[in-house]
């Protein structure tokens, strides 16, 4: 009712106006001029140089206009009038020179049917700058084709692909492990990003190293003419951005982020038992910078960097006594993660129709984990167990067991990479592009662990006529030091007919890996990936329909599974046995653009995954050891639908729906998963994903952002009854009673629906000159947390067999709503 009241009151305080932007000397309309309104909203002029916007009718306001090659202009809008003209002047006097209007290089962030979906900086500010962690992945997870992953999981499945197949690229630089908290959130803060593009169709041959999805992030570019300052204070983080111009030819942008989750941890401790043992609240510390400078009219230099860290610690100590169990537990856990990268680029125009770009950079990622657990239990035997195995119990009615486990692990990844790209406009609609890239990665893993393991005691089982297990300590250490040399090259030809009635892109990409281990090498065959896209402009300007287009595409893709970094010499992989995972993707899409900024995009796709690498566990003696295979398959098909309303005065947003059917096959099934069928649904698969993003703007100073999702359940195993089984402790020889529950794969069983709902209310203030903007917001994430829709298998105590309330599967949600508030100030 409040929203309806506010919407109804809008005509009392605002009016629509029309602004025409023209050349001051020639009186020609400037199509494509960008106009920034008094409230920070940006608009683009049409072919007549006109744009419609609204202004308050109770005071004067100032609007600004920009256009390449022209000086920035400002216009004072009085309290009366509905039509105005803003004149722009050429920037300086050009003698014996030509005016060059620069366009974005092909391949940068843009929405293209059948290839990618892009999110602008304005859309990111509305969908990603919300909640206790502001993350670009929060926006990406709302796009069509993206499977629901949970609140604290920045690694979603893209069109049925494995979550690990999503590859992130920032300004052409491939980033390994671009995550905080082990994949809980990404490193991409919305304030350091100009735009983000998810490519999940048949995208350009310029990029590779993925068979499912490519996230292309364009860093924010500092202004070359104005000093800008942005400060953000919230209940969970502080952000500070400062942009300084460099003599009108470039700029430097510095960004910093600091989180403090202590208030949230304190609140969660009142409701969630597990949270009470956190000793160091999860934290993120990060900083980034971006710089660019135009050395000459035809040459520009760029530099981008990032450094960040995250971590947490917990100490769990508990002593419990009941009729069935007396236990004492002592557990410690620490996590520390650091990563960073530096990217330098140079763009050069040797000819008016040619662009050359060189990029080089280096990055690192280091994660340190330490966990220790000591446990003492005193458990009485069940009557049934004593009746069955009384002869083995030596007259005892209960047993005591002490276990101690620990794990200390360090993972370090260092990479260096460089690439060179060329785009050459051959005129008459043809464009030729080519490039090469070299990426070197070094993976180091050092681990020392002591655990307790259970395996079947074959001799004892034959003697007793029942399955008998042995419980024994196992210590192991890893010292993996592998290197990978990824070499890539591509070439492509694009054609666009006059009036954009027809377009085509034919490309070929080659990817090759040279694998070098600590004392061994593995040779691999190169992967050739041809790709073809055809675009048809069927209708244009027909009544309310602005355009109707059709896209057809097909192509091959390749990637390397990250599990391969753990391969050792005794893994037994011969030369050319290691293969890159491949996929053949085909897609058909249609897009309809209507008047008033409405659009509909429908895409149907099919993917055949082959030579997929995976790891299976095979029995060798009393141990399960990893075996790497390269013969996995996958059959994936589905369709996506997106209804979008572009930025408008009173409301905008989109609705996306995705249907995904994904089945995988591992010919060499794991001994640990012997019940797995030939073809199965992977654990991350969901048939249906619906997302609704709605931005309501009833007043210039009051906006409401709503994110709602509805996702069908993920696969759930079928479980049987909980039953006891005998175990011999190797050290002492005593027989103990443990409990287990049979579990088997099911094609039909699923857990419940997920219904995430986030709401953000923002209050804005603007000064009369339009230079200062402030925002106060209140947000609620996971609003429907108390509605239980998820039906997961319960867990149980392995010492008593008692069923417990917790789930046996991992969850990336919090069981309570998360409330946050903040203040943002921009100059």
Q: Nearest CA to 798 among 452, 457, 448?
A: 452
Residues 6+ apart with CB under 8 A from 681: 662, 663, 664, 715, 747
Please count the residues of the chain: 827
| pLDDT of amino acid 147 | 92
- Specify the range with the lowest mean pLDDT, choosing from 152-156, 320-324, 391-395: 320-324
Contact between residue 284 and residue 259 where contact means Cβ atoms under 8 Å apart: yes
Strand partners, 166: 213
Query: How much of the chain is helix, strand and coil, in % rounded to 5?
Result: 10, 60, 30
Arithmetic mean of pLDDT over the chain: 86
Contact between residue 511 and residue 208 where contact means Cβ atoms under 8 Å apart: yes
Question: What's the number of CA atoms in the CB half-sphere (13 Å) around residue 604?
Answer: 2
Question: What's the number of CA atoms in the CB half-sphere (13 Å) around residue 782?
Answer: 18
- Specify the range with the lowest mean pLDDT, choosing from 89-98, 288-297, 385-394, 795-804: 89-98
Residue 453 banded pLDDT, cuts 50, 70, 90? confident
DSSP secondary structure code for residue 221 in this structure: P
- Specify the range with the lowest mean pLDDT, choosing from 200-204, 617-621, 636-640: 617-621
Per-residue pLDDT at 11 exceeds 70 = no
Contact between residue 656 and residue 640 where contact means Cβ atoms under 8 Å apart: yes
Q: Nearest CA to 816 among 794, 778, 790, 788?
A: 788
Residue where the block lists tokens 């195995």: 389
Residue 814 banded pLDDT, cuts 50, 70, 90? low
Contact between residue 641 and residue 647 where contact means Cβ atoms under 8 Å apart: no
| pLDDT of amino acid 277 | 76
Residues 6+ apart with CB under 8 A from 95: none
Residue 799 banded pLDDT, cuts 50, 70, 90? confident
> How far, in Å, CA of 609 to CA of 212, rounded?
10
Contact between residue 422 and residue 356 where contact means Cβ atoms under 8 Å apart: yes
Contact between residue 417 and residue 361 where contact means Cβ atoms under 8 Å apart: yes
This prediction's pTM: 0.84
Query: What does the pLDDT average to over 221-248?
Result: 89
Q: Around Cβ 528, how many Cβ atoms within 10 Å? A: 12
| pLDDT of amino acid 489 | 97
Residue 810 banded pLDDT, cuts 50, 70, 90? low
Residue 2 banded pLDDT, cuts 50, 70, 90? very low
Q: What are the two backbone dihedrals, phi and then psi, of residue 578, each rounded to the nearest 5 degrees?
A: -75, 130
Residue 648 banded pLDDT, cuts 50, 70, 90? confident
Tokens for 303?
């530099």
Query: What does the pLDDT average to over 331-341?
Result: 93
Q: Are strands 34-36 and 213-219 parallel, antiparallel or unpaired?
A: unpaired
* 12 or 523: which leads in pLDDT: 523
* 120 or 51: which leads in pLDDT: 51
């Amino acid at each position: 009712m409040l929203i309806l009241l506010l919407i109804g009151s809008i005509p009392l305080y605002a009016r629509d106006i029309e602004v025409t932007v023209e050349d001051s000397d020639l009186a020609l309309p400037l199509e494509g001029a960008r106009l920034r309104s008094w409230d920070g909203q940006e608009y683009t002029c049409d072919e007549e140089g006109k744009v419609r916007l609204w202004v308050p009718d109770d005071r004067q306001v100032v609007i600004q206009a920009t256009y390449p090659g022209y000086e920035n202009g400002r216009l004072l809008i009085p309290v009366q009038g509905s039509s105005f003209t803003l004149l722009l002047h050429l920037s300086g006097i050009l003698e014996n020179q030509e005016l060059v209007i620069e366009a974005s290089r092909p391949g940068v962030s843009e929405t293209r049917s059948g290839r990618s979906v892009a999110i602008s900086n304005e859309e990111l500010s509305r969908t990603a700058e919300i909640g206790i962690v502001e993350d670009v992945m929060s926006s990406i997870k709302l796009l069509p084709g993206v499977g629901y992953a949970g609140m604290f999981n920045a690694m979603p499945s893209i069109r049925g692909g494995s979550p690990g197949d999503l590859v992130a690229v920032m300004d052409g630089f491939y980033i390994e492990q671009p995550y905080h908290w082990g994949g809980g959130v990404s490193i991409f803060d919305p304030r350091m990003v100009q735009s983000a593009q998810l490519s999940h169709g048949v995208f350009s041959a310029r990029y590779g190293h993925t068979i499912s999805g490519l996230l292309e992030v364009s860093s924010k570019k500092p202004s070359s003419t104005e000093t800008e300052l942005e400060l953000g204070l919230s209940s969970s983080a502080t952000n500070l951005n400062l942009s300084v111009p460099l003599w009108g030819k470039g700029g430097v942008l510095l960004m910093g982020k600091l989180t403090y989750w202590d208030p949230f941890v304190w609140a969660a401790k009142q409701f969630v038992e597990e949270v009470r043992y956190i000793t160091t609240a999860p934290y993120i510390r990060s900083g980034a910078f971006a710089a660019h400078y135009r050395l000459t009219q035809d040459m520009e230099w760029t530099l981008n960097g990032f450094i960040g860290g995250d971590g947490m610690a917990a100490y769990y100590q508990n002593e419990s006594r009941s009729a069935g169990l007396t236990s004492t537990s002592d557990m410690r856990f620490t996590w520390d993660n650091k990563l960073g990268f530096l990217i330098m680029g140079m763009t050069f125009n040797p000819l008016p129709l040619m662009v050359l770009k060189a990029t080089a950079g280096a990055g690192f990622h280091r994660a340190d984990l330490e966990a220790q657990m000591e446990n003492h239990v005193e458990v009485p035997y069940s009557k049934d167990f004593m009746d069955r195995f009384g002869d083995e119990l030596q007259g005892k009615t209960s047993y005591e067991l002490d276990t101690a486990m620990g794990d200390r692990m360090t993972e370090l990844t260092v990479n260096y990479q460089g690439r060179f790209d060329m785009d050459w406009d051959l005129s008459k609609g043809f464009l030729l592009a080519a490039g090469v890239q070299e990426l070197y990665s070094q993976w180091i893993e050092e681990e020392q662990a002591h655990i307790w393991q259970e395996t079947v005691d074959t001799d004892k089982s034959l003697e007793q006529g029942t399955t008998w297990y042995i419980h024994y300590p196992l210590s192991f250490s890893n010292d993996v030091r592998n290197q990978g040399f990824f070499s890539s090259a591509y070439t492509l030809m694009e054609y666009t007919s006059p009036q954009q009635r027809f377009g085509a892109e034919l490309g070929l990409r080659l990817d090759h890996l040279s694998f070098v281990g600590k004392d061994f090498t593995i040779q691999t065959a190169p992967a050739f990936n041809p790709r073809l896209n055809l675009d048809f402009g069927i209708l244009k300007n027909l009544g309310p329909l602005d355009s109707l287009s059709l896209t057809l595409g097909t192509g091959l893709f390749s990637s390397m599974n990250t599990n391969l970094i753990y391969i050792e010499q005794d893994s037994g992989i011969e030369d050319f046995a290691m293969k890159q995972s491949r996929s053949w993707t085909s897609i058909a899409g249609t897009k309809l653009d209507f008047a008033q900024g409405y659009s509909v995009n429908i895409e149907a796709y099919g993917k055949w995954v082959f030579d997929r690498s995976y790891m299976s566990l095979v029995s060798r003696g009393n141990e399960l050891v990893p075996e790497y295979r390269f013969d996995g398959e996958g059959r994936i098909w589905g369709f996506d639908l997106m209804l979008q309303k572009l930025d408008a005065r009173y409301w905008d947003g989109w609705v996306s729906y995705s249907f995904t059917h994904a089945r995988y096959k591992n010919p060499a099934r794991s001994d640990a998963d012997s019940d797995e069928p030939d073809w199965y649904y992977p654990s991350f698969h969901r048939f249906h994903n619906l997302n609704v993003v709605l931005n309501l703007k009833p007043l210039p100073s009051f906006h409401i952002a709503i994110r709602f999702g509805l996702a069908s359940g993920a696969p759930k195993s079928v479980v049987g009854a909980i039953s006891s089984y005998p175990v011999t402790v190797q050290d002492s020889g005593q027989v103990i009673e443990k409990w287990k529950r049979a579990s088997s794969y099911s094609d039909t069983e699923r857990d419940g629906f997920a219904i995430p709902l986030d709401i953000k209310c923002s209050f804005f203030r603007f000064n009369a000159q339009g230079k200062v903007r402030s925002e106060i917001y209140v947000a609620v994430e996971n609003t429907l947390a108390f509605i239980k829709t998820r039906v997961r298998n319960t867990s149980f105590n392995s010492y008593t067999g008692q069923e417990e309330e917790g789930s046996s599967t991992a969850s990336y949600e919090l069981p309570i709503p998360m409330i946050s508030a903040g203040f943002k100030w921009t100059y």
